[in-house]
Structure 1
Amino acid sequence: MGLNICLFLSGVLFICDGLHVLGPSDPLIVELGGSVMLPCYVEAPLPLEELEVEWKGADSGTLVHLFQDGESRPEAQNQAYSGRASFFTEEVERGNFSLLLTNLTTKDAGIYNCSVYSQQETGQTSVEIKEIEYLIVTGGHVVSAYVGEDITMNCSVDSHIPPEKLDEVSWKKVDQQIQVLIFLNGEVQPESTHERYADRVELFSREEIQKGNFSFRLKDLRTEDKGQYICEAFFGEFADNTTVEVQQLGFSSMHTGILLLCIIAFVVPVVLGYPAYVSLKRNDNSKRALAVQYTLVCCSNIALCLAFILWGVIEGFLTEAATCSAINLLRILFLFWIAPYLDTFKAILQRFIKRSAITLEYAVIAAFAYSGFIVRLWHNYQQTKNIVRLGIIIVLLSLPFLLCINIFVQGLTKIFKQEQTNYILTELINGARGCYVVLTYGVNISKLVLFILPFLEMIFVYFRCQCLFNRGSRVLIRMSVLLILEIVCASSSVYIHYDLLDTLDFRKERDGLTCLAAYLYVLTGMLLFKVVIDDYGLFSRRPHSNRTRQVVESSTVTGTQRTSGHAIVYMLGAVGLSCVNSVALAVELILKARNGERTVNDLRVILVPFECIFPIGCLVLQISEFWGKNRENLTKDFKDLCQLCGCKQASVDSPAEKHELEALRST
């Protein structure tokens, strides 16, 4: 009886024990969209006959996978797992019933039961997918808006972790890789925002960020904002992104205004150019003819000045807009300076234009063009407290101011006319710019040339009354030396601007500033020539030197004399430059609206080289008229110079010339 009881209890224990089905001891952590293997196996292989394996969700009872009668039964599984749950068929006969689950979703988290049935034995194990790690970025869309409007770019981050704990969320402009916004360590980093978007972008409130809303608002939309933007989120090895495209932007009212001003600046010279030229050829100073001339000169240039001011407000940068506006506005004064009808103006206005046109343009253009240098010097001074830098700032600010004061005193009063003072002040400004370069980049030979040469020229001008240059022949030496120094100084300035500004924060302005350096030296050359011809008249050794002085004074390109050369240069400035500038600005505006980025980074690269042609033409007219009225004196002075240098005269001198040469040798 006891033996039977023992055998019965042993059978019960065996049946209750069943199959030993094994699984993982810890929950599984998986990645959203990835794959995971749910382990389930027995220690000893089981015969395939009457073997059945079920994988079910513990909570819902959903059939995930069924293996029966030696094969998988996909038709029996829930459709949510169709094509995603499978066995390793070759491993089943070895007792491995692990399930491969692919394309994981957040709904796959939970407990799964693996039940094994073999003949009269049963076993079960459970596998838990505890957490599904995921990072999903959504919100891609297309934005269409007008320039000047505010837009919102959507970006939503869905993750298994709180949004404020993400490693990084950033917005970038794709085509130029410009950093727009960055959310790092739970905070927005404003210092990482590119200057183009400074004070124009902002995320939503902290509450919205905690919901995963990383959309941002872009204010005051510009044409260069067109393009693709990418919102990227990072956490550990996880990363995802979405893109937002800002499509072609419509013109704002200010863009339309710029185009209208450009049309005016182009149409007026085209319509009035021919009648203005005809009136010049006919010496017509009637009220109607003068009205045409005034309209031609003033209307187009004022329109361009206003257009560039608007351009600076909505599209361009400050120094570009300021310089271009000043060039077009001051061209009015320059055109009146060369105009054959200047003698129709009132005396005080004539005097102001004759004495101030060149110098005023130099002072204003230099002040606007190099304002960026002064700002940079001020920032450096605030950091270093270097008193030398402060001194340069004061000099760079005071010299143009003093030059303007001198201009207005000379132009509006009859106190004095001193071309030498204007020229020396301009060379002081050139020297101050050279001093800035030396202090910023250190001393070497090429930089010292830019620094020293303007001062050498000033020395030659200042000592013009010395005995070395007190005769016409020797004035020719001085004129030649000054000309050579001016050419070398101008060439050095242009080269150093182009070479050194590439390493500055002014890289985008390098080409424009290089062109302006050349333009300023053209104006300096005109002032130098006025000084030289004044010197030639003052130091002429001939008895009729007073007549020579009078000739020189009238040898500026103003006055009553009308020549075809004057008319051509005048029409070049009044018609040609206005048309070129208006077309350049209009084309750049349209292309930027279409492409979303600038075709020409600095419009001064186009405007200033063409602008140089106008003062060069004026300078050629000055030289030509000076030579025409002083040819005889210059020829005699050149012969005297040859005698001083020991050269043989090629022709026989007249008795009067021989007498003068003997007197010259005796001195």
Structure 2
Amino acid sequence: MDLLMFIFVAAVAVISDGFTVHGPSDPLVAPLGSSVVLPCYVDEPLPVKDLEVEWRRTDSEALVHLYQDGESRAEVQQEDYQDRANFFTDQIQHGNFSLRLDNLRAEDEGEYTCKVYSQQDSGETVVQIKVDNVERLLVSGSSRSISASVGEDVTLNCSVDSHIKPEHIEEVSWRKTDEKEDIPVLLYQNNEALPDSSDEQYRDRVEFFTDEIPKGNFSLRLKSVRTEDKGVYMCQVFAGRLSANATVVLEKLGFSALQIMVLILSIAASGSALLLCCLIYCISHDDSFLRLHLSLVLCPNMIMFFAFVFWGVSDGSVNETVCCSALYFLRPLLLLWAAPYINKFTGKIKTWIQEYSYVAEYVVFSFVVYSALFKTAWQKLLNYAEFERVVIIVLFSIVFLSCLCKIIHFLVSEIGKKTRRIIKIIDLVADIIFEILPTLQFMILFYTFGSTGGAGFIIVVILPVFMMMTNDRWFFRCRRVGCSRSVIRTVMIIFTLVMNAVMIGLYIMTLEKTTDPIGWGCVLVFLQILWTVMKFTDATFSYLRLSQGFQRFVLMYVFGSVGVVLLTSAALITELILKTVNGDRTLGDLRFIVFPVECLFVVSVLISGLFESKIASCLKSCQDSVRSRRVKRSQQNQNQNPEETEMLENP
């Protein structure tokens, strides 16, 4: 009886169980970031109707996944397992309730329970996961180089594949790297982007895609691409002891609309200069002759003015753009003064061109240059002592006051036809200051960019010496000791050359601490040469100054109106093309070309005024020599022609 009862109870137990849920006998071991399958199955398929499969963490009862009512219920999953835990849906009808867990994390380690409910029966199994301690950090960028046009926005890809959550990544660093430089572009640290870490050339132009960072996407948006942005960029990721990097190549930068405009304007300036020069040569005596000359003076230079403006917007620096644009806007004034057809003008127009055009260029250009220098100096004033700050502001104010006085005098006396006493006082003040302007210029540069240790010595000693050197009355008094006019003029020229050499040396010495010393040096040398022209033309005594009627040489005028424009436009085109191709500027500053060429033109005009008689006689002798050679050749040809004719008639 007892044996029968035991057999009956065992049979009832087996029947009541209905099914047995199976799982692995040993823990599952998998590396971080990998996918692992958690086995859970029954021997015989179960009816799908009323079937429910539930996976939970044993320790926290967190719901990993649920199969219910014939479908996977992903919406009820714990957030940490969404998009990572999935059933093999097509296998459930065959009794396979295994779960695939992707992108395995360290916190996934532990026990998981698979519970199966079918009609009135249920069963379960436990699966244990052990995460391998092998750590992984992979960073990927772009497999292909990126091409873009200047001015566009580009995306530099960088994605991080790791078991480490993005918010636990310590640092992501974007840098531009090549053989010559290593420039910080943008830094992500302590769960935030740090724009202040960017180099100045990338400031306000780079940013992360904030919404993508939680997904491990640290791609970079680079806005308004420039030609110098071309190169190799490295995305480096640091997480604990791990670090990895990927590179992105930005190349094949095309021309932007502004750069195309610069090319068109530069070519137009060169073409217009050559075309107008040819027309003037062909039409030597015509009513349109003077208009063509005025067009040659104005059109190429105004076109180059706009070319430099567009260049500054697209690629050029502020100081470079301001100086070059101002020069080409004012160049026609000096060209008018140096033009050989100046005598075709009559009345007050001719007088103004002869006496004031080049002065107007010097005054306005000085005002523009020292405004740009003052902007640079203003950034340094906070680091100076109060006394030095006051001295710098006063010196700049004196220069500005002098320029304004001269401009007011031009506008009121020449254009407004006013000659009141106040106008004469304004002109006198401007003339007095202009006598010592080179010294003031040096003082400004010395206080702003140089060492201020010897400032007292400069004020007490150098200033009076330069004032004496720039005053032609000292040379006139040399007549009292029996010096001839030619000797006095020669001494004055030598003295002026020495003074200019000293001033240029002082400029170079004091400009070493600026960001673009050579560029500013070229500009100030041009100003010094232009001041020398003013000095000789405004000299008190006639034998010391350039004659109002001195001969204008066509060759020098053509060089100034055509040659200078051709050289500058060629330099601008070359710099633009090389910068686009190489991603970096060749010259670095176009003032290296623009102002030395302009200095050469101004010096040639000055020499032609000082030694006009000698140059004229030399040119005349050369012309006579060439003419005599032509006459001899023509005579020889005439002598040979009869002999050749006779030989042809009597072979």
Q: How do residues 367-382 of structure 1 correspond to structure 2 at under 5 angstroms? A: 367-382=367-382
Structure 2 residue aligned with 1:81: none
CA, structure 1 residues 436+164, in 2 after alignment: closer, same or farther (shift >3 Å)?
farther
State whether structure 2 residue 591 is matched by structure 1 residue 604.
yes
Per-residue CA deviations over 1:233-291 (Å, capped at 9, x if unaligned) read 12233211112222212222221111111111111122222343566xx6x4x421112
Distance 1:156 1:352 in 2: 69
For residues 328 and 310 of structure 2, the distance between their equivalents in structure 1, rounded to whole angstroms, comes to 14
CA positional deviation for 1:604: 0.7
Matches of residues 314-463 of structure 1 in structure 2 within 5 Å?
A: 314-345=314-345, 347-384=347-384, 386-410=386-410, 411-412=414-415, 413=417, 415=419, 421-422=430-431, 424-425=433-434, 427-428=436-437, 430-438=439-447, 440-443=449-452, 453=462, 455-461=464-470
Q: Counterparts of 1:368 and 1:165 in 2: how far apart (Å)? A: 54
State the AA in 1 paired with 2:304. L
Q: Distance in 2 between matches of 1:414 and 1:429?
A: 30
1:536 deviates by: 4.7
Paired residue secondary structure (2:253) = coil
Who is 2:280 aligned against? 276
Aligned partner of 2:351: which letter?
R
Q: Which amino acid aligns with 2:605?
A: C
Q: What is the CA-CA distance between 1:478 and the residue it aligns to? A: 7.0
Listed as ranges, the matches of 1:12-23 within 5 Å are none
1:591 corresponding residue in structure 2: 578
Q: Report the alpha carbon displacement of residue 475 of structure 1 after superposing the two structures with TM.
A: 8.8
Distance of aligned partners of 1:340 and 1:136 in 2 relative to their CA distance in 1, 3 Å threshold: same
Residues in 1 aligned to 2:232 and 2:476: alpha-carbon distance in whole angstroms: 72
1:309 aligns with 2:289: no
Q: Indicate whether 1:528 and 2:535 are aligned.
A: yes
Amino acid at match of 1:352: W
Alpha-carbon distance change, 448 to 487 in structure 1, aligned in 2, over 3 angstroms? farther
Partner amino acid, structure 2, of 1:214 = F
Equivalent position of 2:136 in the other structure: 134
**Is the contact between residue 141 and residue 157 of structure 2 (CA under 8 Å) also seen in structure 1?**
yes
Closer, same or farther in 2 for the Cα pair 1:446/1:31, shift >3 Å? farther
| 1:617 partner amino acid | S
Match for residue 162 of structure 2?
Answer: 159
Change (3 A) 1:252 1:108: closer
CA contact (8 A) 2:158 2:217 kept: yes
**Aligned-partner Cα distance in 2 for 1:467–1:578:** 40
Residue 511 in structure 1 maps to residue 518 in structure 2:
yes
Amino acid at match of 2:141: G
* Matched ranges for 1:180-219 at <5 A: 180-205=185-210, 207-219=211-223
Separation (CA, whole Å) in 1 of partners of 2:429 and 2:341: 27
Instruction: After TM superposition, give the deviation of residue 128 of structure 1 in Å.
Output: 4.5
CA distance in 1 between counterparts of 2:252 and 2:343 reads: 53
Residues 554-565 of structure 1 correspond to what in structure 2 (within 5 A)? 555-556=547-548, 559=549, 563=551
The CA distance in 1 between the partners of 2:129 and 2:557, in whole Å, is 92
Q: TM-score, normalised by structure 1?
A: 0.65
Alpha-carbon offset, residue 219 of structure 1: 1.6
**Structure 1 residue 189, shift from structure 2 partner:** 2.0
| Separation in 2, partners of 1:328, 1:30 | 70
Q: Is the 8 A contact 1:169 1:231 kept in 2?
A: yes
**Any conservation in 1 of the 2:172–2:188 contact (CA below 8 Å)?**
yes
Residues 58, 599 of structure 1: alpha-carbon distance in 2 compared, 3 angstrom cutoff: closer
Unaligned runs of 5+ in 1: 1-26, 34-56, 62-104, 113-125, 539-551, 630-667
Choose from 543, 547, 555 the match for 1:568. Answer: 555
Alpha-carbon distance, 1:310 to partner: 0.3
Paired position in structure 1 for 2:631: none
Amino acid aligned to 1:388? E
The number of equivalent residue pairs is 496
Task: Spell out, residue by residue over 1:336-379, the C-alpha distance to the aligned partner (whole angstroms, 9 max, x if none).
Answer: 11113224345343333333333333334334445454224322
CA distance 1:31–1:451, shift in 2 (3 Å): farther
Q: Deviations over 1:426-475 (max 9, x none)?
A: 63354243343246433578996799646423245568389945759569
Alpha-carbon distance in 1 for matches of 2:372, 2:30: 57
The answer as to 2:266 corresponding to 1:262 is yes
Which among 140, 145, 149 is matched to residue 146 of structure 1? 149
1:577 aligns with 2:582: no
Write out per-residue CA displacement over residues 304-327 of structure 1, whole angstroms, 9 at most, x where no aligned residue. 000000000010011101111111
Distance 1:352 1:192, change over 3 A: farther
Distance 1:152 1:239, change over 3 A: same
Q: In structure 1, what is the Cα distance between the partners aligned to 2:495 and 2:335?
A: 29
Deviations 1:111-157 (A, max 9, x none): 89xxxxxxxxxxxxx99545443222123243222222222222122
Identity of matched residues, %: 31
Partner of 1:615: 602
List aligned pairs for 1:492-503, cutoff 5 A. Answer: 492-503=502-513
**Residue 254 of structure 2: which of 226, 242, 250 is its match?**
250
Distance 2:575 2:378 in 1: 33
Q: Residues 466 and 289 of structure 1: is their aligned pair in 2 closer, same or farther, counting only changes over 3 Å?
A: closer
- The question of whether the paired residues in 2 share the 8 Å contact of 1:566 and 1:621 is answered with yes
Q: Partners of 1:262 and 1:575 in 2: how far apart?
A: 13
Matched letter for residue 624 of structure 1: F
What's the secondary structure of 2:541's corresponding residue?
helix
Q: CA deviation at 1:214?
A: 1.6
Query: Using a 3 Å threshold, how does the CA distance of structure 1 residues 350 and 316 change in structure 2: closer, same or farther?
Result: same
Q: How has the CA–CA distance of structure 1 residues 385 and 498 changed in structure 2, closer, same or farther, with 3 Å as cutoff?
A: closer
Q: Mark the runs of 5 or more structure 2 residues left unpaired by the alignment.
A: 1-27, 41-101, 111-127, 617-651
TM-score normalised to the size of structure 2? 0.67
**2:125 alignment counterpart:** none
CA contact (8 A) 1:156 1:212 kept: yes
